[in-house]
């Protein structure tokens, strides 16, 4: 009951805020838009990045992490713009709901859509696991295409501090995540009992790919195949 009241109060406060301070596009500030047509178009690309150890050998991203794309993602990720869940979920689905991917995904008994994990501290600061709504939407879109898919928070992060986008070089990023991402004990037992599944990893921003690789390795350690990965944006790391 208390949670329901909190949800109602949150919705009322949001509605009042829109009346007093009409929102603008998360990317450029265009009035009365969540993500305007111009900014949405920036997410319409399909960049690839190498991802060894996966079935596809690569992952996909919809945009470069710069300009309005960066503004939109940060507004959603770190400043509570939950209305971007819908547009970003559609963008994520477009990356993987393609014939060449769907045909292969239908060959698995089950497909788990797994977000890269955030630290408990980050989740508390944001008030939610911001990637899970996108994972659920992608799983739903895959089911509509005949893939037995389900979103699952199977990974956990322990003992890691700082934001990955604040760690500049690829080597620094690799050191940052090494040994800190693993399949949760609860999910490990369940996954070991299934041999007919594959995993899709989803993230908001890919830089060096260190976090993605750590996630892939966590599943490889328990012999669960990772099909591939999808990310909203790609920001190649500088230096080594």
Write out pLDDT tens, residues 19-39.
Answer: 445 789 999 999 999 999 999
Q: What percent of the chain has pLDDT over 70?
A: 81
Lowest mean pLDDT, pick from 29-38, 117-126, 221-230 = 117-126
- What pLDDT, on a 0 to 100 scale, did the predictor assign at position 22? 77
- What pLDDT, on a 0 to 100 scale, did the predictor assign at position 154? 96
Q: What percent of the chain has pLDDT over 90?
A: 72
pLDDT confidence tier of residue 176, bands split at 50, 70 and 90: low
Q: What is the pTM of this model?
A: 0.83
Tell whether domain 44-234 is in CATH 3.30.1360.
no
CA atoms within 13 A on the CB side of 102: 15
Query: What is the mean pLDDT of the segment spanning 62-68?
Result: 98
Given a cut of 90, whether residue 234 has pLDDT beyond it is yes
Q: What residues contact residue 11 under an 8 Å CB cut-off, 6+ apart?
A: none
Write 94-103 long-range contacts (CB < 8 A, 24+).
Answer: 94/44, 94/62, 95/46, 95/60, 95/61, 95/62, 95/230, 96/60, 96/138, 96/142, 96/200, 96/228, 96/230, 97/141, 97/142, 97/145, 101/56, 101/228, 102/142, 102/145, 102/146, 102/147
| Three-class SS state of 28 | coil
Query: What is the mean pLDDT of the segment spanning 74-89?
Result: 96
Both tokens of residue 210? 């260190």
- Per the CB < 8 A criterion, the answer to whether 215 and 114 are in contact is yes
- What pLDDT, on a 0 to 100 scale, did the predictor assign at position 26? 97
Average pLDDT, the chain: 87
- Per the CB < 8 A criterion, the answer to whether 59 and 204 are in contact is no
Query: What is the mean pLDDT of the segment spanning 221-236?
Result: 96
| Three-class SS state of 124 | helix
**CA dist., res. 181 & res. 41, Å (int):** 33
Q: Where is pLDDT greater, at 211 or 18?
A: 211
Q: Where is pLDDT greater, at 238 or 211?
A: 211
- Per the CB < 8 A criterion, the answer to whether 211 and 181 are in contact is yes
- What pLDDT, on a 0 to 100 scale, did the predictor assign at position 19? 43
**CA dist., res. 123 & res. 127, Å (int):** 6
Cα dihedral angle (65, 71, 74, 75), rounded to 10 degrees?
-150
**CA dist., res. 213 & res. 181, Å (int):** 10
Residue labelled with tokens 């630290």: 119
Cross-strand partners of 47: 61
pLDDT confidence tier of residue 162, bands split at 50, 70 and 90: low
Q: Specify the DSSP element, H or E, that contains 85.
A: helix 85-96
Sequence spans of domains, the chain: 44-234
């Amino acid at each position: 009951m208390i949670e329901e009241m909190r949800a109602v109060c949150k919705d009322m406060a949001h509605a009042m805020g829109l009346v007093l301070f009409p929102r603008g596009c998360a990317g450029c500030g265009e009035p009365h838009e969540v993500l305007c047509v111009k900014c949405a178009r920036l997410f319409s690309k399909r960049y690839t990045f190498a991802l060894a150890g996966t079935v596809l050998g690569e992952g996909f991203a919809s945009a470069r992490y710069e300009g309005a794309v960066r503004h939109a993602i940060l507004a959603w990720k770190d400043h509570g713009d939950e209305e971007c869940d819908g547009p970003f979920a559609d963008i994520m689905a477009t990356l993987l709901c393609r014939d060449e991917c769907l045909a292969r995904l239908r060959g698995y008994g089950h497909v788990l859509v797994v977000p890269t994990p955030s630290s408990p501290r980050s989740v508390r600061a944001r008030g939610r696991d911001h990637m899970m709504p996108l994972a659920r939407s992608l799983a739903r879109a895959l089911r509509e295409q005949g893939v037995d898919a389900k979103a699952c928070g199977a990974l956990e992060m322990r003992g890691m501090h700082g934001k990955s986008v604040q760690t500049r070089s690829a080597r620094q990023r690799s050191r940052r995540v090494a040994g800190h991402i693993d399949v949760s004990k609860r999910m490990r037992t369940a996954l070991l009992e299934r041999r007919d599944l594959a995993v899709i990893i989803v993230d908001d921003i890919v830089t060096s790919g260190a976090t993605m690789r750590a996630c892939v390795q966590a599943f490889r350690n328990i012999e669960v195949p990772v099909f591939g990965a999808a990310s909203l944006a790609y920001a190649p790391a500088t230096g080594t």
